[in-house]
Chain A
Amino acid sequence: MQFNPCMKHKLIRNSARHFAETELAPIAAEIDQQRRFPREIIAKMKALNYFGLQVPKEYGGAAMDSISAAIVVEEISRVCAAVGLCVTVHNGVAIYPFLQFADAGQKEAYLPQLASGNVIGAFSLTEANAGSDAGSVETTAVKKGSDYFLNGTKIFVTNGGVCDVALIFALTSSPDNKLQSSVFIVESQFPGFLRGELEDLCGMRANPVSSLFFEDCPVPEANLLGKLGDGMKIGLSTLDNGRIGVAAQALGIAQGAMEAAVKYAKERQQFKKPIASQQTIQNYIADMATEIMAARLLLYRACELKDAGAPFGCEASMAKLYCSTIASKVTSLAVQIHGGYGYSKEYDVERYFRDAKVTEIYEGTSEIQRMVIARAILSQPIL
């Protein structure tokens, strides 16, 4: 058992932190307020393999282990969660299904472009009537000739406004006419692929989250991911992986908020001494630090299981549930420690506070995580 970071993980953290602090910190507040996707920074990130973290070398990726990839998402999110979101969705739920389920031709056609970041990916399951209930997708894919024709609307698509390729969950008919969900690789240039307005969200505002509309959008048969009817299987497996990414993101936000709170508590003078000398503030900081440490260990354990090829769904849900819960708590305490200033856009903790909340919602709500965890625990035999 190894609890201390190895030299490689330390260097990867330093490297991502240096990049985030140099390139993203100066603009993080501005792009949040202006809802601007920072293409100029994304261009720099492409060359450094941020968009192919775990893609094998032969497709131009960095072939990193899962803890390394989590560290990268953590460090970017520590400074700018909206860009962290772009990175984790692209790697965790757009590329991952290609690695797991794509055939050789699909890998050849899409992975090098995705890994280079020249093509940005998205994953679209959610619809107006299908959120936690992933089986209620209403988008349809009907086969005519050699193409499937997609019709329907996807909402809250992370990277939706800029994605070049999206994995779309749609209903298809089985040979015996039963409806089942399948996944299609859809390029933004296909006719009938339309983007909605960008969402005006509480947090993660620099990420171009939007709806996607499909109006008789033809998708070649070769772009069916996995087999017909594999939708649920691909969706669940992908979400397991995506949860590691969102946990890392939540952890990064919590870390950033705690550091800001510690710095402020040492500087802010009330009653002629720094507020850090007050026991109440010290208790807040002790709780924050303890919960962040526990969250990190839980997350890296899920990563380690994944790399060992062991089932990791339950552990990924635990990590996601815990990291997002403490992210909300830590960011709230960080605002509290800042007092009135923390409620102002002048300080970063106001943004961290808004960004943290959604980590309890997307990639499976905390309620769904508990369902997944309880199901796994209850299905174990009693010894």
Chain B
Amino acid sequence: MLNIVVCIKQVPMVTELPWDEKTGTLRRDLAAGMMNPACKHAVEAALQLKEKYGAAVIVLTMGPPAAEEVLREALAMGADRSILICDRMLAGSDTYATSFILAEAVKKEVPGCDLILCGAYTSDSETAQVGPQLAEELNMPAAAYAEHLDISGRTLRVRRLVDHFRETLEMEFPALVTVSMEQYEPRYASFAGLNRAFTGTDIAVLNAAALGITAAHLESRGSRTRVRRVFIRKTQKENVRITGAAANAAGEFLDRYQRTISAVIGKSIEAKKQT
């Protein structure tokens, strides 16, 4: 039977959250958490593979104790096991550190892992980096933005939408795929499933020590990025009034805006003015 690990993340439920100006991070405390939408599609993909080919689905997340909620939700949808990596020492990890920590957890907790699925990107930071970086850490082939998965023997076939065409890739297990939100519309968890997720299953909670990660590791493999500054882009509208005779006004309008207009439409309008 296949072992499928799905890496999921808890994100804030609202689209725009205030920033903490000092630390440059989101004020997550102001919003309720939810499972990142693309991660939910990845869970759905894993469950459909499980239904079609037979598999054990293990969901994995790193976060504060409250992140248990998204694991329970994945269990309610039909996942079999869940792992929470939770340690203050790991808080604030960037994608480089996160993929290292997730890799250590997969090696230790699911040694026979055949397939790792991730959401293609998260709704809070949208780097889309953790999936591919995790594949690098584990030395696995990876494909990003998958919309459909098929398995034949030990071969995984991945269909994905790239710009304006679809391509199908094949790779051997073990492999990592990030799932887009094109297909795999997540199922609703049933109430029996939700009840089972709270009564039938325990969540394995691991700290850094349990994964063999020490302060020395974090020195070399910790976050390499620092957020220098965060700002909200301000846009403003300006009312400009051009008066006078029509021909003069049109001329003045073009003098002011022909460069902007040319840039927007992608070709120069300067010649028009001269005629």
Contacts and interface: CB of A to CB of B under 8 A. Distances in A.
Most chain A Cβ neighbours within 10 Å, of B72, B73, B189:
B189
A57 B194 contact: no
A8 B189 CA distance: 13
A294 B190 CA distance: 29
A53 B191 contact: yes
A15 interface: yes
Contacts of B73: 11, 15
B64 to A, nearest CB: 13
A48 B188 contact: yes
Contact of B34 (A7, A14, A50, A63): A14
B69 interface: yes
Nearest to A44: B188
B76 interface: yes
Given A7-B72, A11-B69, A49 B34 contact: no
Contacts of A47: 190
Nearest to A23: B188
Contact of B190 (A49, A57, A68): A49
A10 B13 CA distance: 13
B35 to A, nearest CB: 10
Nearest to A49: B191
A15 B72 contact: no
Interface string A153-167: 000000000000000
A16 to B, nearest CB: 8
Interface in A14-35: 14-15, 18-19
A312 B198 CA distance: 26
A15 B188 contact: yes
Interface string B31-44: 01010000000000
Contact size range, B: 10 to 19
B194 A12 contact: yes
B183 interface: no
Interface in B31-70: 32, 34, 68-69
B76 A64 contact: no
Interface string A309-326: 000000000000000000
A7 B194 contact: no
Interface residues of A, number: 22
B195 interface: yes
Interface string B73-90: 100100000000000000
Say whether chain A's binding surface is mostly helix, strand, loop, or mixed: helix
A44 B189 CA distance: 12
Contact of B191 (A7, A14, A44, A62): A62
A62 B72 contact: no
A68 B73 CA distance: 15
A48 B194 CA distance: 10
Nearest to B198: A8
Contact of A49 (B32, B69, B192, B198): B192
Contact of A15 (B68, B189, B198): B189
Contact of A64 (B72, B195, B197): B195
B76 A11 contact: yes
A69 to B, nearest CB: 9
B68 A48 contact: no
B201 to A, nearest CB: 13
A61 interface: yes
B191 A72 contact: yes
A209 B164 CA distance: 52
A48 B76 CA distance: 11
Contact of B194 (A15, A18, A50): A15
B198 A57 contact: no
Interface string A46-73: 0111100100010001111000100010
A18 B76 CA distance: 15
A50 B32 CA distance: 25
Contacts of A12: 191, 194
A78 B72 CA distance: 25
A61 B194 contact: no
A149 to B, nearest CB: 39
A61 B76 contact: no
A51 to B, nearest CB: 10
Contacts of B68: 7
Interface string B213-254: 000000000000000000000000000000000000000000
A63 B192 contact: yes
Nearest to A15: B189
B13 to A, nearest CB: 9
Contacts of A48: 188-191
B192 A61 contact: yes
Interface of A: 7-8, 10-12, 14-15, 18-19, 44, 47-50, 53, 57, 61-64, 68, 72
11 contacts: A7-B69, A10-B32, A12-B191, A14-B34, A15-B194, A48-B191, A49-B190, A50-B191, A53-B191, A61-B192, A72-B191
Given A7-B72, A8-B194, A11-B197, 20 more contacts: A7-B198, A8-B195, A8-B198, A11-B72, A11-B73, A14-B32, A15-B76, A15-B188, A15-B189, A15-B191, A15-B194, A47-B190, A48-B190, A49-B190, A49-B191, A49-B192, A57-B192, A62-B192, A62-B195, A72-B191
